Amino acid sequence: MVESFTVDSEVLRRYDVAGPRYTSYPTAPQFSATFGERELRQAISVTNDDPIPRSLSVYVHVPFCRSACFYCGCNRVISQDSARGEAYLVRLYHEVELTASLIDRDREVVQLHFGGGTPNFLSPTQLGEAVDTLRRQFRLSRSVDAEMSIELDPRALSPDDVSELAAIGFNRASLGVQDFDPEVQQAVNRVQSIEQTLSIIEACRRHGMRSVGVDLIYGLPRQNEAGFAATLNTVIAARPDRVAVYGYAHLPQLFKAQRPIRAEDLPSPAGKLALLMLAIRKLMASGYRYIGMDHFALPDNELALAQERGTLHRNFMGYTTHADTDLVSFGMSAISHVGATFSQNFRELDRWQGAVDEGRLPVFRGLHMSPDDILRSDLLQHLMCNAEIPVAALERRHEICFDDYFKDALLRLQPMIDDGLVRIKGDRIVASPQGRLLLRNIAMCFDHYLGAGESAPIKFSRAI
Amino acid sequence: MSKPVFPLADARTVADDGDDLRFCSTCAFSQACLAEGMDKGQLGELHLLVEHIGPLHTGDHVFRTGDPFSFIAAVRSGTVKTYVVDGDGRERVLGFHLPGEVIGLDAIDDERYPCCAVALDTVTLCRFSFSRMAELAAQLPGLQRQMFRLMSRDIGAANRLAGDWSADQRMAAFLLGISHRLASRGFSATRFALTMARADIGNHLRLASETVSRVLTRFQDDGLIVVERREVELRDLRRLEALAAPLLGA
């Protein structure tokens, strides 16, 4: 894997176009309301019948946050009222029961993730009860590499809470940080001290979490290189196993939460790019490996090791070491991926709750993947995890002639080949070190739904 | 170009609908009739009714236990499962019928179908009037031999499983059986989809569903096969044959 490389900001600037993040292919905008509860039930039944049914990943969405971070583009509900968490859990358990009863019991859960929102809006006691409920309804793997992860907001958490979370079984945590610069924190309405954050990282370690991650964001209002450099130094000194550096996507027409952010406070495209390059330089110089799509990891972290072995995977929760699983997700707005289908729960709390109260699976849209979708999704999976497209393997697996099938895609890719971002090496198409920063752009060339040469509509954030 | 992977419909296997003078390429009887020097036109003169039916969809029945016996049918594409329901309401899977194979032969005795036949995926069939077929067989020794062959194959398949075989042996024999049958119809012998549910495989092989998956996982870990959802690739035929040898030789 690549240890270091030079970054040509001029090239990166040219590829700064809007596009999806490809946590799924097809992406959520392709989901249709014609896919509902009946289709999800059918999909679960089909996967139960497979000769070797896949193991399961389970995602639990906790939509509540105590305060509104202005940059947020997630589906969340702002509330100070802990009772809402209790009411939510009642429905969540009902949804878990409804779904679990459809799934064959010998299918093991190898990955369990709590995301949000803010999962630790719920108390450790409530989270423990949620995990117990899942344990009763599913067969949770006891294997050493079984993954139980949680997204944490260090502002609402004590080191003692972390000890309880570890006792429940959580063995991986990712902490929202974004930037320690006080000016930035004020501009995004998320004030969080370095001490709070470091004490939680330290507690995660002390209680045996196998991986601690820190999430940063570049391109925030009032962000500058000096402040972000200080943040990076602080984070690097704490040595988290993983660091994610996301680009802020300012889409106030789409995300109401972002409207308080003043456009004039945002860094220029050049300034934003400089922040990204700063992060890449510092992280790489400090021994972090670039995994792909905004993610860095220490060389001894399981993600870096899996990437070396070629066994890295990516799903809605991000990168993972677990091979293809069926993803079953619970809670408002949660997206499942069962067999060759995607399905999403209602994005409004009351509609999700209403459906569950009536004993229905709260699906409001989804899709059946076509053979073309399955082929392209397979291609993108390889690209995102290994920064290359295994042409011969795809031809064999999907019985296609690659050059014919992807004639248009290869034409769209040509400028990236000309710029040295992508190389054709025998029977593989490989991203160059710099091209690995632009996996999203490479992916877009192979996205059937974006169409030839068009840039994506505004519902996607920019690549850089 | 490699051979088509079952159940993919492909010009080399099922797209050939035949015409007034030729048989479909998957027809279970075409070889027998052609060997007698008869073409489809001559069969027509003998008023043998050959009727294409389908497509049937997953869960559609071709016939049910007790239905009066009126026809036998050859599978043209897809998979048909035959099963009976015992006194306790439990289903027992008798077999899976692939393109070119015939269902309904076991109804000859009682004039009623002794089992149910259901489509496991999208299925098309050729339906024959049995009485006409029998008349014809009386005149055509080759056709008669072919019918006897088909009937004895049905019985043989059931008998093979009756022995005291291990789960691994049963599974290896099952996979190889499907491989051979598909290969004889022009499909790939080493890559195919298992169109039936694992519970049906288990039922047929007298194994629990979980055991079906466990054995397949073990085969996969040992490099004998690769399984991806419904698709199976046989990677080491020799070792599979060695495992299945006691059953297949029985």
pLDDT tens column, A354-365: 999 999 999 999
Rounded mean pLDDT of chain A?
Answer: 93
**The predicted structure's pLDDT at residue B20:** 58
**The predicted structure's pLDDT at residue A453:** 41
Which CATH number characterizes residue B177's domain?
Answer: 1.10.10.10
Whole-angstrom distance, CA of residue B43 vs CA of residue B53:
19
**The predicted structure's pLDDT at residue B135:** 79
Q: What is the pLDDT of residues B95-140, one digit of tens each?
A: 999 988 888 888 877 789 999 999 999 999 888 887 777 777 787 7
**The predicted structure's pLDDT at residue A12:** 81
pLDDT band at residue A21, thresholds of 50, 70 and 90? confident
Classify domain A28-327 at the CATH superfamily level. tm_1862 like domain (3.80.30.20)
Residue A130, classified by CB atoms within 10 Å of its CB into exposed (0-12), middle (13-18) or buried (19+), is: buried
Q: Are B129 and B224 in a shared domain? A: no
Rounded mean pLDDT of chain B?
Answer: 83
User: What are the residue ranges of helices labelled H in A4-123?
Assistant: 9-14, 37-48, 82-100
pLDDT band at residue B11, thresholds of 50, 70 and 90? low
For chain B, the domain total comes to 2
**Residue B8: closest C-alpha in chain A:** A399
pLDDT band at residue A456, thresholds of 50, 70 and 90? very low
**The predicted structure's pLDDT at residue B186:** 85
Q: Are B129 and B201 in a shared domain? A: no
**Residue A340: closest C-alpha in chain B:** B229
Residue with tokens 């209790």: A86
Whether the bond between A182 and the residue before it is cis, its omega within 30 degrees of 0, is no
Q: Provide the whole-model pTM.
A: 0.90
Spatial contact of A302 and A245, defined as CB atoms under 8 Å apart? no
Spatial contact of B18 and B27, defined as CB atoms under 8 Å apart? yes
Residue with tokens 């309904």: B104
- Kind and range of the H or E element at B83? strand B80-85
Name the 3-class secondary structure at B222.
coil
- Say whether A49 and B220 touch across the interface (CB within 8 A): no
Give the closest of A49, A339, A399 to B199, CB-based: A49
- Domain ranges in chain A are 1-26+370-464, 28-327
- How far from B168 is each of A151, A246, A322, B104, B248, CA to CA, in Å? 44, 50, 27, 30, 13
Answer whether residue B197 is part of any domain.
Answer: yes
Domain encompassing residue B94: 30-158
Q: Which residue has the higher pLDDT, A31 or B39?
A: A31
Residue with tokens 């999976």: A381
Q: Bridge-partner residues for B60, per DSSP?
A: none
309-348 of A, contacting B, C-beta below 8 A? 339
Spatial contact of B97 and B139, defined as CB atoms under 8 Å apart? no
pLDDT band at residue A75, thresholds of 50, 70 and 90? confident
Q: What is the pLDDT of residues B132-186, one digit of tens each?
A: 777 777 877 777 777 777 776 666 566 667 778 999 999 999 999 999 989 988 8
> Which of chain B's residues have a Cβ under 8 Å away from the Cβ of A49?
197-199
**The predicted structure's pLDDT at residue B134:** 78
Answer whether residue B75 is part of any domain.
Answer: yes
Q: What is the pLDDT of residues A142-190, one digit of tens each?
A: 887 789 999 999 999 999 999 999 999 999 999 999 999 999 999 999 9
- pLDDT mean over A34-48: 97
Q: Which residue has the higher pLDDT, B50 or A68?
A: A68
Answer whether residue B138 is part of any domain.
Answer: yes
Q: What is the pLDDT of residues A372-422, one digit of tens each?
A: 999 999 999 999 999 999 999 999 989 899 999 999 999 999 999 999 999
Q: Which are the contacts of A436, defined by CB distance < 8 A and separation ≥ 6?
A: A2, A290, A292, A387
Spatial contact of B67 and B112, defined as CB atoms under 8 Å apart? yes
Q: What is the dihedral of CA B66, B71, B77, B83, to 10 degrees?
A: 20
- Say whether A106 and B213 touch across the interface (CB within 8 A): yes
Domain finish residue from B125, B158, B191: B158
Which CATH number characterizes residue B39's domain?
Answer: 2.60.120.10
Answer whether residue B216 is part of any domain.
Answer: yes
Angle at A123 (CA atoms; ends A95, A101), nearest 5 degrees: 20
A2 closest CA partner among A267, A387, A453: A387
The verdict on B198 touching A (C-beta cutoff 8 Å) is: yes
Answer whether residue B77 is part of any domain.
Answer: yes
Question: Is 80 exceeded by the pLDDT of residue B26?
Answer: no
Report ipTM (2 d.p.): 0.85
Question: Is 50 exceeded by the pLDDT of residue A274?
Answer: yes
pLDDT band at residue B40, thresholds of 50, 70 and 90? low
Q: What is the dihedral of CA A63, A69, A70, A75, to 10 degrees?
A: -10
- The listed CATH number (3.30.1330.10, 3.30.365.10, 1.10.10.920, 3.40.50.300) that belongs to domain A1-26+370-464: 1.10.10.920
Whole-angstrom distance, CA of residue A376 vs CA of residue A409:
11
Question: Is 70 exceeded by the pLDDT of residue A333?
Answer: yes
Side chain identity, residue A39: E
- Say whether A51 and B198 touch across the interface (CB within 8 A): yes
> Which of chain A's residues have a Cβ under 8 Å away from the Cβ of B208?
none
